[in-house]
Structure 1
């Protein structure tokens, strides 16, 4: 139902642009489409946790696969949309995204065999399994900061390519960035890690911040492509570690809810990151705007250092008994 509302609102927004309706109506359609967009990524990761509950060692590979799939879409999607919009019709690219999103989500919703069983309603007088906020809150800060980084990088890279006299190169640069992340996801999924997810998260966040540091001094498009390719290698491992860590600490009954905080964090960071970068671009040009990306990476690193992992996840019976788990850094 929700995905249908999203499709109708997005379609109405596209039509309003073509028909030159009031801008207020176009913004209203965009707002409804954004609010109705289902969190498919959260549900997919929750399903992986359910399907592989008896094989937890495979979860890292599953989350790596998800990261690679995300980057593949990010790599191919912009190119396909651009080709459709420039060779077929200005709205063709967005229409293709609408149709693929609608059909894909419908098919996903019909895959009942992989869906976790619904948890029974918990009475108010009965304690619920808690969300371990000592881990989930900092993880949400990490993903929100990465959202800021991603939003700022997309806007700034377009501006950088335009300043270099080749606006069309922006799609190539962003695709190179996604390619680095895709390759890192493949490598990460193939490795049996001995280090904990929390340790990998901190190293990944550090690498992400360091990768963003030199962008504001890059002098040319070829050098920018190389730096973004290298920087992309930090994206997937960081996100994979964040999702793996969340899966480890969340009670089964709160899995989808907890994962949604991380997914929402990314979405919540995209718009502010793009907006702040846009202001910096207007006043100082593209290169200084890359410092917004660095700031996002630095805050993500701070969030990663603040994560506290429960040594045990409190059960329903533990809560009734009033016991508390310990935490580790």
Structure 2
């Protein structure tokens, strides 16, 4: 199964930027749990930890597309290096505020200020899209690999952060995450031979009338972003509901393992999906993926409501996880088809921001359900979010090229022409 992936790494520089990007992306999955443990330990409040984390997530969802736009205009290295160095300042400020007992509002300010986070996953996919621009099958394989690496980070990052925070000191998880993020990002952009060339001159060198508009002017991206927002609700609600369910059964420490099974199912599915030869329009494949994801998420709902125990719930969660990777892979491939190269980083950052906002909303809804309903009732939320994602995708199928692919492509071409 891994033989096709060896073909990808045979390309000069591919292995180097992939490993560097993997190291940098670990920070995204480590900081969440590390921040919660740090503030819960030093300030004694899970509520404060949760709201500070949510504020940072919202700020990042706003800042990431802006950084993506700058990357498209000026290049990955020219934007990432100053962004990484800047982010170290509010991060250091947060640790100092916690250490010195500063007022709570300073924590919100520091964590929200560190929102200039480059989307390394999107930049890696942009590199693959450039390297494999004439090889759609290989591009599908590369997108599957990147999704599997994302899931690997979500399996390893929280565990590593928790171990460091609880065995050494509460601050160590955050410090390690920052070191991984900064080091990985700088190593990533140091791989200059695989960096996509600028499709246009930098903003300062172009006339004011030709600066272009947002990728959201492409209808297909609006549909994908809304679908991904609902998908983010699945992730947020599934995580919190699983923790609450395990806690209600008196096995809260098992919750981490159950969540790892979701990521493991998605990781395995992503690797297998990459080896399959894609057939048919990408929009049709995306609809099939969303439909499969919605169907598979009925399994944790049935397990939770049926009270079948943690073992069968784990099996259901692993199976549910297998539906997310193919959907995400195909969605990212569709973005690469709908958007020109010069807007690719911003477009993928917008999609990721939609997921992040969805995670916040899903967590909030699942938290309310855990407080006011039975232990398994919270699984209605990810199942409902998956159904909503399917309805959105079906409603926007023409924009995704399902049944009217030529129309969607013409819409994208018109937007590109207008932007120029």
State whether TM-score is above 0.5. yes
Whether the aligned pair in 2 keeps the contact of 1:180 and 1:230 (CA below 8 Å) is yes
Aligned to 2:249: 164
Among residues 212, 223, 227, which one is paired with 2:297 in the alignment? 212
1:27 maps onto 2:108 in alignment: yes
Aligned to 1:327: none
Query: Aligned partners of 1:128, 1:13: CA distance in 2, in Å?
Result: 37
Aligned to 2:233: 148
Aligned to 1:303: 392
- Residue range with higher mean Cα deviation, 85-94 or 158-167: 85-94
Task: Identify unmatched segments of 5+ residues in structure 1.
Answer: 321-329
Q: Secondary structure at the match of 1:36?
A: coil
Higher helix share: 2
- Shift in Å, 1:93: 2.0
1:17 maps onto 2:98 in alignment: yes
Deviation per CA, 1:245-281: give whole Å up to 9, x if none. Answer: 1111212222222222212111121111111211221
Query: Aligned partners of 1:281, 1:10: CA distance in 2, in Å?
Result: 32
Task: Map 1:46-125 onto structure 2 (within 5 A).
Answer: 46-118=126-198, 119-120=200-201, 121=203, 123-125=207-209
Q: CA RMSD in A?
A: 2.2
Deviation per CA, 1:177-199: give whole Å up to 9, x if none. Answer: 11000100110011112133212
1:257 maps onto 2:343 in alignment: no
> Cα distance 1:88–1:318, how it changes in 2: closer, same or farther (>3 A)?
closer
Whether the aligned pair in 2 keeps the contact of 1:140 and 1:262 (CA below 8 Å) is yes
Whether the aligned pair in 1 keeps the contact of 2:266 and 2:323 (CA below 8 Å) is yes
Whether the aligned pair in 2 keeps the contact of 1:129 and 1:254 (CA below 8 Å) is no
Task: Identify unmatched segments of 5+ residues in structure 2.
Answer: 1-81
Give the TM-score of the pair, scaled to structure 1.
0.89
> Cα distance 1:212–1:317, how it changes in 2: closer, same or farther (>3 A)?
closer
Whether the aligned pair in 2 keeps the contact of 1:127 and 1:319 (CA below 8 Å) is no
Q: Secondary structure at the match of 2:252?
A: coil
Aligned to 2:264: 179
Give the TM-score of the pair, scaled to structure 2.
0.71
> Cα distance 1:300–1:27, how it changes in 2: closer, same or farther (>3 A)?
same
Deviation per CA, 1:148-172: give whole Å up to 9, x if none. Answer: 1111111111111111111111110
- Shift in Å, 1:8: 2.7
Whether the aligned pair in 2 keeps the contact of 1:129 and 1:315 (CA below 8 Å) is no
> Cα distance 1:20–1:194, how it changes in 2: closer, same or farther (>3 A)?
same
> Cα distance 1:316–1:159, how it changes in 2: closer, same or farther (>3 A)?
closer
- Shift in Å, 1:10: 2.6
- Residue range with higher mean Cα deviation, 176-185 or 149-158: 149-158
Query: Aligned partners of 1:232, 1:70: CA distance in 2, in Å?
Result: 13
Deviation per CA, 1:200-243: give whole Å up to 9, x if none. Answer: 21121112222222434421211110100000100110000000
- Residue range with higher mean Cα deviation, 234-243 or 302-311: 302-311
Query: Aligned partners of 2:130, 2:98: CA distance in 1, in Å?
Result: 43
Aligned to 1:324: none
Deviation per CA, 1:32-66: give whole Å up to 9, x if none. Answer: 12x22222222222221112113232110010010
Whether the aligned pair in 2 keeps the contact of 1:129 and 1:251 (CA below 8 Å) is no
